[in-house]
Amino acid sequence: MKIKTISFSQNIGKERNNSLQIAEMVEKVLEKDATHINIRDYNIMPCHLCGKCVKSHTCVVDDAYKNLLEDIGEVDILFLVVPYYSPYPSKLMIFLEKLNEIFYSGWMKDPTYKHHLQNTKVGLVVHGGIVDSDLVKNHYKTMMSSALSHTLKGLGFKVVEDEEDYKNGYAFGIENESCIKGVKKEVFPIVSHRDDYIKDKIKVYTQFVLTSN
């Protein structure tokens, strides 16, 4: 079984940003071989609707995006770890925008065409910098998880969910206010998680994704 995780934070404020930390913990909790992809390593560019993907089924004008798709490859489960701010990370939008055009152009040329990523199982983990509570979870799910889940399903992905706790994936906030610390000479505060806190938050959902049909 091929499993990969993608962390969608571009944050360079610390080497191991929260999305990366959460993605690494997903891999540990699964106790299976998994490959991590850090979106920070790919200088992907917005789509220009040039249409050159119609034959190649990739982005021939953006080497970084082409490399990203090659690194994702064919997978059984893809975990997307997405930080909530603004509300959507810019590289997440580029990732989805170009996938849409690649899938759509291929279908326009050949209605029987299906990209290898379509129908891939997706575990969706959204996280943010507000102290965790039911109200905060609902906020993240309303503002991000729901729309993102519907977008992924519209593209042909199979978002792993149920009708209760894991509707549109899983979302959580920080443990408490002490997770946010100001740093001298830095514009933005540092938001940190304890590894054990992350493990406790995501372990049930990750196993749910792993064992789902």
What is the CATH code for 3-211?
3.40.50.360
Of the pLDDT bands very low, low, confident and very high (cuts 50, 70, 90), residue 119 is very high
Say yes or no to pLDDT of 28 above 80.
yes
pTM: 0.94
Q: Tell me, rounded to whole angstroms, the distance of Cα 210 from its chain centroid.
A: 16
Query: Cα-Cα-Cα-Cα dihedral of 147, 148, 152, 154, to 10°?
Result: 20
pLDDT value at residue 172:
96
pLDDT value at residue 87:
87
Of the pLDDT bands very low, low, confident and very high (cuts 50, 70, 90), residue 191 is confident
Give me the mean pLDDT over the 53-74 stretch: 96
Residue 127's Cβ-count burial label (10 Å; 0-12, 13-18, 19+) is: buried
pLDDT, one tens digit per residue, over 136-174 is 999 999 999 999 999 999 999 999 999 988 999 999 999
What are the residue boundaries of the structural domains of the chain, listed by start?
3-211
CB within 8 Å of 201: residues ≥ 6 apart: 132, 170, 172
